[in-house]
Copies of this chain bind each other. A is one copy, B any other.
Amino acid sequence: MATNSVKLLGTWACPYVYRVEIALKMKSIEYEFIQERVFNKSELLLKSNPVYKKIPVLFHDEKPICESLVILQYIDEAWLNGPSILPSDPYDRAIARFWAAYIDEKWYPLVADYRNVEGKEAKAAMVERISEGTLLLEEAFIDMSKGKSYCGGDSIGYVDIVFGSLLGWVKVIEIVDELKILDETKTPSLAEWDEKFCSDNVVKSIIPQAEKLVEVYHKYVELKKANSS
């Protein structure tokens, strides 16, 4: 068994994979990227994540770790060098875990589900629910950042990674579905945070521009059609 071997099974366009890459790069951990197939899951994926069969999977010395929030916390605990991902104070850590779970379990599912909602009224109601959630996040981000740039303080932290990794695809949804989610007038702090986050060198090196992701999205839709026909 290799010592300190770090491998990441993922695809190029998956926001949950971006999370792991950002954390690894923040901590200057070298890793091998193993490209997973978009359709027809690999044996490696099925074997290493039999419960969910989903990327990302991080392999540390060949041992698999699944689920991006679990992986982020693992990286923070297994590599103590480099900037911390979670805050050091237990209460701040609890607040960070609370909002990370909220983003994954409540907010993003609403955004991702928007296109499946049919009818003008139902769509308007969904926009209202998304806006309420985004406003909650606006306030939470103000509280967590305590006057600094990020929820993690001066450098990017747990909630920044969790939320920020989704923004590429949020922007795709904004473009494709003609929906405004991050709004300079309604959520000015989040809009400002977004600009800072996206101009970070590590983030820039990992998350593609929204226009690029829109291309990927259209290609994916075509491939999916071809694959199912």
A residues at B contact (CB < 8 Å): 51, 60, 63, 65-67, 69-71, 73-74, 77-78, 90-91, 93-94, 97-98, 101-102, 105, 136
Contacts and interface: CB of A to CB of B under 8 A. Distances in A.
Nearest to A71: B94
Given A70-B101, A101-B70, A65 B51 contact: no
A73 B94 contact: yes
Copies of this chain in the oligomer:
2
A66 B97 CA distance: 10
B101 A67 contact: yes
Q: Which 4 A-B pairs have the closest CB atoms?
A: A77-B90, A74-B94, A78-B90, A70-B97
B51 A70 contact: no
Interface SS of A by simple majority = helix
Nearest to A66: B98
Given A67-B101, A98-B67, A101-B70, A51 B93 contact: no
Given A98-B66, A98-B70, A77 B93 contact: yes
Nearest to A93: B77
**Residue from A60, A70, A78, A136 with most neighbouring chain B CB atoms (10 Å):** A70
Given A51-B136, A136-B51, A91 B78 contact: yes
A90 B73 CA distance: 9
B70 A91 contact: no
Contacts of A51: 102, 136
24 contacts: A51-B102, A51-B136, A60-B91, A63-B91, A65-B91, A65-B98, A67-B97, A67-B98, A67-B101, A69-B97, A69-B101, A70-B94, A70-B98, A71-B94, A73-B93, A73-B94, A73-B97, A74-B90, A74-B93, A74-B94, A77-B93, A78-B90, A78-B91, A105-B105
A73 B86 CA distance: 13
Nearest to A139: B50
Contacts of A105: 105
